Amino acid sequence: MIDRRKYKNSLVFRITGGTVTVIILLLLVLVTSNVYSLHVVKNNTINSAMNEMRIHINNMNNCFDNAINDLNEIVLGINNQVDLKNGDESTRYFETKRLQDILIERMNISKTTDVYSIYNSSADLLLMSVSSRVTSKEKIELDNIIRKDLLNRRYSVKDLWSPIKLDNKWFFFKMYRFSDNIIVGFIKADTLMALVDLKGGNIDEQIVLTDSLGNSLSKVGNINFTDIPNKLANESEVVNNFDNKYIMVSTRVESSKARLSTLIEEKGVLLGLGYIQWFIAILGIISLILMPYIIYYLNREILRPVKGLVLGTRQVEQGNFEYRVNEEVESLEFNTLIHSFNSMIKEIKTLKISAYEEKLELNKAELRYLQTQIRPHFFLNALTTIHSLAYKDKNEEIREFIDALSNHLRYMFRGGLNKVSIKEEIDRIKDYFYMQEIKFPNSVFYVIDVDQFTEQERIPQLLILTFVENAFKHSMTLEDTLSIFIKTERCIFDGKDSVRIIIEDDGEGFPEDIIKKVNEDSSAYTSDGYRIGITNIKRTLELLYGKDNLLKLSNEEPMGGKVEIVIPLEKGDEIEINNSRR
């Protein structure tokens, strides 16, 4: 049982299992992708066919509608039907000629109607105008149909265009009847199908026009589809695997008792996808055959050297600097790595831990130096304020100012570099605002919004105050009120819980060179005293938290500066470096 657990936790087992899992997942992805591709290709083909059918049916409906408009015009032209059976031969002649001219005019205007006719049963008079697409034999049959069949057929104006067969050709007709007159329009099924344009279309496609029972009336497209039955059971819009060979898309022609169906050969749509399926199967078999060799090669050339290096690392962790890795492999990279590892152990043996202690002492010294640079900046401003109040003989203000200053100095005169709570820093900032209000009455407006969950978080001493002082130094005037906004909130920064501190003022803002130095150039620090507090704060944040992107400066529109500081939260977040007096 123990050996089995060790084997399951071994790199060999995990790489083997991972490799097999990856291969199986890849095969599943390929199979799923192939099946999905079949589905997408078929759906796209059906959607394309349906869009194409809508265009053709729209053209056919327009053809029927134009013919109905012509029939209405012909009906309006029959305004003297009594003259057709009048005993006056001259009157009948001119009336007949007038109606014949109307039929000819409508036929010349129409591009798709094949026959317009008027039949008066009382006078047994049949007038007809036909297109060049109608043969002589069809014209004779039309004469018989109109005189015998249509005369006795019950027909409503609301009836749709109906199919009728003449000389083995199908026509669609619509008839108006009033009094003794029958007005009929005929359109060949072949004429309608001539509207179907298959240029550049699917070469494995046939479009069939059928009646409501599915009988084929006319067809265009691939004439090699000889096995398509003459009767299409096309009540459904989409029929997959029709006749075990085709995809059929069928739609009703609204103006007539007909349906338009598109038949597409499935093998033409799915051409090439079947070969991909075979390729996937063969690829899977080859992968399974090669699996044992791959595992053996990985174990010999990768896993065994890695085990040797892991063992050597453990020995070094335990302080055994005499250990050497003796694995010999064919791989040049691992031979180089093993040689470098052995050399590294020799170098580590010669190093001393005191080097790390020296580095820590240097960091502490630099932090103490930065802190001493920040503090005199405030002292000079305070002395300047007291001097200004004394010059104006404001003794009471001087007393209040000194009281606030003494509290402030107690906060600043601490040994070493401290981290303080945000609440403590804000309290001292309020003292500072009080001192500034004494110096500049009615010229200071500030808002402090501290999230209660951030009050006790620790930040470097004087972090916020430095920027408040900077705002007063560069933006305070006696003519305008200076507004300052301070806010703290929780946030996530670089995946860690942090505190964001925002300081805004409506002063003159920051010069572009200072913004660029602070935000972009982490190695650029002013050494001439100009805004040294800001650059020292940035350096302090780098030393304490190891990041150079915790401070960001920007300018607000229409005016004012904005400071954003992020303080990462750490366990045991209280660091104090005490100055040792020697």
Query: How many Cβ atoms from other residues are within 10 Å of residue 207's Cβ?
Result: 23
Q: Is residue 439 predicted with pLDDT exceeding 80?
A: no
Q: Residue range 303-330: average pLDDT? A: 74
* Mean pLDDT in residue range 193-211: 74
pLDDT number for residue 576: 40
The arithmetic mean of pLDDT across residues 65-77, rounded, is 87
How does residue 89 score in pLDDT terms, banded at 50, 70 and 90?
confident
Distance from C-alpha of 467 to C-alpha of 489, rounded to nearest angstrom: 18
Query: Is the confidence at residue 51, as pLDDT, over 80?
Result: yes
pLDDT at 518: 85
Query: How buried is 134 (Cβ within 10 angstroms: 0-12 exposed, 13-18 middle, 19+ buried)?
Result: buried
Between β-strands 458-460 and 419-421, what pairing exists: parallel, antiparallel or unpaired?
antiparallel
Q: How many CB atoms lie within 10 A of CB 288?
A: 13
Residue 203 has pLDDT above 80, yes or no: no
pTM over 0.75: no
User: Mean of the per-residue pLDDT values for the chain?
Assistant: 77
Q: Are 462 and 374 in contact (CB under 8 A)?
A: yes
Q: Is the pLDDT of residue 251 over 90?
A: no
Residue 131 scores a pLDDT above 80: yes
Q: Return the H-helix or E-strand segment holding 324.
A: none
Q: What is the mean pLDDT of residues 6-28?
A: 68
144 has pLDDT over 60: yes
pLDDT for the residue numbered 16: 67
Higher pLDDT: 263 or 496? It is 496
Residue from 425, 510, 428 nearest 436 by CA: 428
Q: Model confidence at 206, in pLDDT bands (50, 70, 90)?
A: confident
**87: DSSP letter:** S
Distance, in Å, from the CA atom of 91 to the CA atom of 496, rounded to the nearest integer, reads 105
Characterise 200 by phi-psi region: left (phi > 0), alpha (psi -120 to 50), beta (else).
Answer: left
**Closest among 67, 189, 73, 182 to 128, alpha carbons compared:** 182
pLDDT of residue 355 exceeding 50, the answer is yes
For residue 235, how many other CB atoms are within 10 A of its CB? Answer: 11
Better-predicted residue by pLDDT, 571 or 286:
286
pLDDT > 70: percent of the chain: 76
Stretch among 231-240, 323-332, 349-358, 558-567 having the lowest mean pLDDT? 349-358
Distance CA 187, CA 192 (A): 7
Q: By the 8 A CB rule, do 533 and 466 touch?
A: yes
Q: DSSP H helical segments within 145-272, as ranges? A: 151-152, 189-193, 266-269
HEC string of 498-536 equals EEEEEEEECCCCCCHHHHHHHHCCCCCCCCCCCCHHHHH
Could you report the per-residue pLDDT of 147-192, keeping only the tens digit for each? 888 777 777 767 889 898 887 889 999 988 877 788 899 999 999 8
Query: What 3-state class would DSSP assign to 26?
Result: helix
State the average pLDDT over residues 434-462. 87
pLDDT at 469: 81
Per-residue pLDDT at 346: 72
| Residue 77 near residue 102, CB atoms below 8 Å | yes
* Residue scoring higher pLDDT (304 or 104): 104
Phi, psi for residue 184 in degrees, rounded to 5: -130, 140
pLDDT tier at 580 (50, 70, 90 boundaries)? very low
Cα separation of 489 and 500, whole Å? 5
Question: What confidence score (pLDDT) does residue 199 get?
Answer: 58
**Axis-axis angle for helices 89-109, 11-77 (nearest 10):** 160
* 3-state SS string for 255-309: CECEEEEEEEEHHHHCCCHHHHHHHHHHHHHHHHHHHHHHHHHHHHHHHHHHHHH
In tens, the pLDDT along 513-548 reads 888 888 876 554 554 444 566 777 887 788 788 888
d(CA 431, CA 410): 12
Q: Which two tokens stand for residue 261?
A: 């169906």
**CA dist list (Å): 349 to 205, 323, 335, 342:** 81, 11, 22, 11
pLDDT, one tens digit per residue, over 407-426 is: 777 776 665 557 889 999 99
Rounded to whole angstroms, the Cα distance separating 165 from 189 reads: 10
Quote the DSSP letter at residue 231: B
Contact present, 158 and 167 (Cβ < 8 Å): no
Is the pLDDT at 339 greater than 90? The verdict is no
